[in-house]
Each structure stands twice: as C-alpha cells, then as structure tokens.
Amino acid sequence: MTKRGNIVAAAAAAAAVIATAGPSMAATPGGSEIVGSSSVSGMMMFNSAPGKVVILDKTEGNAARINGHPAWGEEWDTQSRSSRLMNVVTNTFCAGGMSLGNGTWAVFGGNENVGPGGNSTTPRFSTTAPYYDGDGGAAARFYSPNSADNADWDDGNHYMKRRRWYPTVEALGDGTLWVGGGEDYGGYVADEGQNQPNFEYWPSRGDAINMDFLTQTLPMNLYPLAWTMASGYLFVQAGQDAILYNLDSNTVAKGLPSTTGPMKVYPASAGVAMLPMTPANNYTQEVLFCGGVQRPLNEWGNGAGPLYNPLNTPASKVCERITPEADNPTWEQDDDLINGRSMGTFVYLPDGKLWFGQGVRMGTGGYSGQPYNKNIGISLGDQPDFQPMVYDPTAARGSRWSIAGLSQMQVQRMYHSTAILLEDGSILTAGSNPNADVTFNNTANYTNTEYRLEQWYPLWYNQARPTQLNVTQIAYGGGSFEVPLSSSDLSNNITNIKNAKVVIIRSGFATHGVNFGQRYMELNSTYTANQNGSVSGTLHVSNMPPNSNIFQPGPAMAFLVVNGVPSMGQHVMIGTGQLGDQNIVAATELPASQDPPVPKSSTGNSKGNGSGSSGSNSGQSSGAAALSTGSAAVVTMIVALVAVVLSA
C-alpha cells in the first residue's frame, strides 16, 4: 500500500473524536433549525474534516477581526456550534475551489484589493486601511486540515498564470486540478475585453491554454460548468452550448447539442449535479440542470448589468438532463420544478436522493445598482424561495420531485449563499449577501447581509443508524473489503441485507449555487447472510471502480446505507492520498450473494430456494486488502458508532 499523507491520518483522528457523537441534536425530520451565526457571510463553504466546515466570504467589513483586518474566513464546528476565525489575506470575492488528491483544499482567483463599498483601493492594487486585503485575482490559496485543528490558510504566497474572477475548478484523475475561465475583474457577466478564455493546471503545467469555447459563449461563460468524465474528457457547459474537451490534445473532442432550455451558468444560475453513479446504472455519468433563466444570449448585457429587468422575469422551472458520453447525447426534458428558481442548489443525500434548496423565484444572481432595484439594495434577484425539495433520480418520470413532509426554511438564501452536506446527513446552509459590502439597512431587510446558519434535517434523520464504517482509504480496483452487518444495522430484519450498500460522496466546494466537485458513487457489493438464523451477515464491498476519472482522488465521505437510512459519514481518502499515479489495478470478482435461509416456519409464500446462492461463499475477503490501515494508533481510536434512536 502506498504511504499515506498526513491528511489521511488527520481525518481519521478527527473521525475518532466525533464518531461517538451521533446525530446528537434534537431535530425535526423534514424541518430545520437556526444553529448559530457565522462571523463571515457564507459565500463559499466546504466540509473540510469531520465536524468541520470552512466558510469563506469576500473581503468586506465584517465586524469580526483577525490580524488587524476584518475576517473573511472561518471554520465552523458542527458539534460545538462554535467557530474559529481564519486568516485569509487576499480577496476571495467569487473565487473557485476544490480539494486536491492529497487532501489539501485549494481556492483560486477572486478580485482585486478593495475598500469599503467594494470599491478599488487608492492607490489601486494596494493593501491599505481599513480592509488590508491582498489582490486575489490570480491568488492560489491552500488549506491542509490537521488533527490539532489549528491549521490556517497559506495565502498570498502562490499565484496562477492569469487573473480569474469566477473560475471553475475541477479535479482530474491524477488528483491535480483544472482551473478554467473567469475574467480579470468584477462584473455582472463577462466582458470581452477582460475575458479569460483559457485554463491552467494546479500544480502548474506551464502557461494558460486557450479554449475557444469560452469566447464563443460570451458573455455567459463565468463559472463554466465542468465535469471530468470517465473517458478523461472534460464536459463543459456555458451559454446554451456544451462540448467534450480533450485535455491531452487541447481540442474539442466532440461538440454536443445546444440546449433550447434556460441559461444555466452564473448569473442565470441553474442548480446542477451529476446524478449518482451506481452499479445498477453501470456508473453512467448523467448531469442534471434545474432552473436558471430563459433569456437569449444577447440580453445578458455586460459587466455593468443586464439589458432587461431581471426582477420582472420569473426564473425557469425547466429541468434537463444530458449524458455527455452517450453515443448520441441529447438534452432530455425532466420533471419541472414546482416554481421557477435561480440559484437553487443541489446537495446529495446519502440515500441517493438530492436535496434542492436556496435561491429565488424572480431574477438572477449578481448585483448592480439599477433604477428598478432600489428597494432591494442592489440585488438582481427577488422573492427568495424557502421551500426545499427532494429529487429521486430512480423514480418514474412525473414523480421525481417531492416536498412531502418538508417544511419551509426560515432564512432566505439569495445571491452569495451556500449549502453543504454534513456527516450526519443533515445540510448546513449559510450566507446570502447581494451587496457590495456588509449591509444591514436595505429597505427590504431580506436582502441584507446574512450570518445565520440554518441546518436542515432529512426525513430519516432520527431513525436508528447503521454502524459507521471503519475505513480510512479506498483504492481504485484490486479487491474488496468486508462490512459486518449486525442485527441492529439490519433493524432486526434479515431481508434488509438485500438493501445494504456503501456510498461515497464528495460534497465539494459550494459557491454560487454550484457545489463544484460534488459526486456520488455507490460501490459495487454483494452480501452473505449468516445461515444459522441470526439476523446478521457481511457486505462484500468492491474498492472504487478501476478508473480514477469516474470519481477522482481526494477526500470524500463513506456511508453505510441500509434500507435508505445512512450511517454517520466516515471521512476517507480516495486513491493513494498523493498526486499523480493512482496505482489502478483491475477489479476482482465479488463472492456471489448468499441469501438468508428460508424460514422453516414459512407457510408457503416462500418464493423458492433463494437467488444467487449457488456456489459456496466463505464470506471472506475476495481480494487484496481494500484499505490502507495506516497508523494502528490512529485507526484503533475509531470507535464504531452504535446506532442511536432519538426521540424528536
């Protein structure tokens, strides 16, 4: 096994600390509660380590101060519901981010140094009172969580080749990052004169590489929507167009059909997600886009604002799906949203459904002072939508959306708000700040700067949970690992062994309605039910499929899900924990599933002798050890979580 980075050990050690805590807070399933306040407004957010969420803002006049300047970075502890400030030094205004394959988080780009009102400093590009921020345009910032929980940002020391305001960051199969698009300075949409129709890599592989697609799709090309595909091609969507791009030859591998549906990139801001990849769908990579705003390319204007009044324009209800690597990809219409939505955000739930929340019913993201928006500060979106919805990708067409049992949220989440999955399967929501600087006195108070943190609870939140997985690292191909299933894991019903699975979720880097890098994969598995009448057995779980483009290397969470109810998420390292070669080997066969014995007392409605039970099954591991066990000291600290039943 490859040597493990410190990050893996840190994640495991921290897991040991929280593993004893279950979903410990009284919660209303399908409801939410305000769990506290952040010190910086949650424009960007990611789950960095067990129980820890990093919240990033732009440079602005937050009251909290660190190192003699206002803070715009913070780490929130989801268990103690308290936070520590972080010393981010360059302006993270509309940056992009993602985790590297070695567990370090990276945040790229942003805007120039600003003072009050978000105005340029005098002299321009100087670090001056009162905000003392550095130029973030080309900044590359790094955060490596540690087990002492005292790490901070490495900021102001590393730079990209180009300035990038609104860049997209996507992980590649070797754990390095693609950083693409954006423009030099701020604006509502991209201006040709300051466009960055190119991309670069981190770690750097030389100068930026031109990408014509990001010129063709002007001005709707900021935060271009991009996903690494199984082939290694990059699927990129901007304007109403889409391509598969070959990063080896720097050419378009295949032009995909254009959509006639709504605009999807910022500031139209559709909700986007790659649908869960499962053995049942053979890890097909299909991407879902919901909402956005239906206006033609030539009405989006320029950096100063749109050429129409977005506040009069309902956001779109339309959902569309595309499978970019299908033989003949098409934009397939999916079930409509209940209401049109811009800046809606998808977050995977461990059960394989997707939460959809946040955003507005009218208008767009972005802001600019216009004659028509004086009452709402400078927001270009209005009518916050408080209704979360759940999307079931396996449901029949016509019944994929549900709001049954789901209350309205309490806090509006307009432009510059975020939502991220937590270990217990709940979702933390933060931010909302369609303002150039901290503002509390807009006439419409729901457009003021928002600090409240609200946590949302899925319908199964209070149910007894299966045992947390004892896994710290998962390789690509090569074998499987065993998960013991106790009577309590199976809710004392042996038939539930047929509905047990292990899923891997990367919650990603949340900003602007997109959780960049967010991916969900169910690992292949078979089961052995014990044959002696006890309600117990073993799940045989394959390592990652032998292709690191399907689910890229780096940190993620693993859940044991039984009958739709997940364990607490276990932070794991996918791949070697290093950048570069991921030691990919062929997958090995799993033992055939072995069903429970047919009960002797069965009174004739037994369907037979059990499926898949031919062949003898030992229940032992079929291949090479799946896990790098790492430091025994660390791993033995991990306490298996005993399922807890809570009363609401």
Residues that bind ligand NAG (CB under 6 A): 5-7, 100, 102-104, 116-117, 119, 142, 144, 203, 279, 282, 412, 439-441, 445-446, 470, 493, 495-496, 499, 524, 530, 532, 534, 563, 579, 589-590, 608-609, 629, 635-636, 638, 640
Nearer to ligand NAG, 401 or 509 (CB): 509
Residue 94 contact, options Cu ion, ligand NAG, none, Cβ 5-8 Å cut-off depending on partner type: Cu ion
Quote the least distance from Cβ 415 to ligand NAG, whole Å. 14
Quote the least distance from Cβ 94 to Cu ion, whole Å. 4
Quote the least distance from Cβ 73 to ligand NAG, whole Å. 18
Amino acid at 470: N
Decide if residue 362 touches Cu ion (CB under 5 A): no
Quote the least distance from Cβ 317 to ligand NAG, whole Å. 25
Quote the least distance from Cβ 508 to ligand NAG, whole Å. 18
Which among 31-39, 91-99, 271-279, 519-527 is the span making contact with Cu ion, rule CB under 5 A?
A: 91-99
Q: How far apart are CA 538 and CA 594, in angstroms?
A: 10
Nearer to ligand NAG, 230 or 514 (CB): 230
Decide if residue 56 touches Cu ion (CB under 5 A): no
DSSP code of residue 275: P
Nearer to Cu ion, 94 or 561 (CB): 94
Closest CA to 634 of 151, 147, 150, 149: 147
Q: How far apart are CA 86 and CA 51, in angstroms?
A: 16
294-297 CB contacts, 8 Å cutoff, 24+ apart:
294/261, 294/262, 294/263, 294/318, 295/263, 295/268, 297/217, 297/219, 297/220, 297/239, 297/240, 297/263
Nearer to Cu ion, 373 or 473 (CB): 373
The string of DSSP letters for 405-469 reads T-PPPSS---SSEEEEE-TTS-EEEEE---SSS--S--SSGGGS---EEEEE--TTTTS--PPPP
Q: How far apart are CA 348 and CA 272, in angstroms?
A: 11
Quote the least distance from Cβ 419 to Cu ion, whole Å. 16
Nearer to ligand NAG, 313 or 526 (CB): 526
Coil/strand/helix, residue 361: strand
Decide if residue 94 touches Cu ion (CB under 5 A): yes
Which among 87-95, 148-156, 293-301, 394-402 is the span making contact with Cu ion, rule CB under 5 A?
A: 87-95
Asked if 179 and 164 touch (Cβ cutoff 8 Å), the reply is yes
Helices (H), 319-364: none
Coil/strand/helix, residue 56: strand
Residue 206 contact, options ligand NAG, Cu ion, none, Cβ 5-8 Å cut-off depending on partner type: none
DSSP code of residue 331: -
Coil/strand/helix, residue 61: coil
Find out whether the peptide bond into 203 is cis, omega within 30 degrees of 0: yes
Give the phi and the psi of residue 44 in degrees, each rounded to 5: -135, 150
Residue 640 contact, options Cu ion, ligand NAG, none, Cβ 5-8 Å cut-off depending on partner type: ligand NAG
Which among 80-88, 93-101, 108-116, 325-333 is the span making contact with Cu ion, rule CB under 5 A?
A: 93-101
Nearer to ligand NAG, 131 or 289 (CB): 131
Quote the least distance from Cβ 378 to Cu ion, whole Å. 12
Nearer to Cu ion, 38 or 628 (CB): 38
Q: Which residue has its beta carbon closest to ligand NAG?
A: 117
Quote the least distance from Cβ 512 to Cu ion, whole Å. 6
Quote the least distance from Cβ 557 to Cu ion, whole Å. 27
Which among 89-97, 180-188, 191-199, 322-330 is the span making contact with Cu ion, rule CB under 5 A?
A: 89-97
Q: What is the SS3 assignment for 37-55?
A: ECCCCCCEEEEEECCEEEE
Quote the least distance from Cβ 101 to ligand NAG, whole Å. 8
DSSP code of residue 496: G
Q: How far apart are CA 491 and CA 643, in angstroms?
A: 10
Decide if residue 95 touches Cu ion (CB under 5 A): no
Residue 121 CB-half CA count within 13 A: 21
Which among 90-98, 182-190, 480-488, 531-539 is the span making contact with Cu ion, rule CB under 5 A?
A: 90-98
Applying the rule CB under 5 A, the residues between 291 and 310 that interact with Cu ion are none
Rounded to whole angstroms, what are the CA distances from 259 to 224, 243, 315, 333, 363? 15, 12, 17, 10, 20
State the residues that interact with Cu ion by CB under 5 A.
94
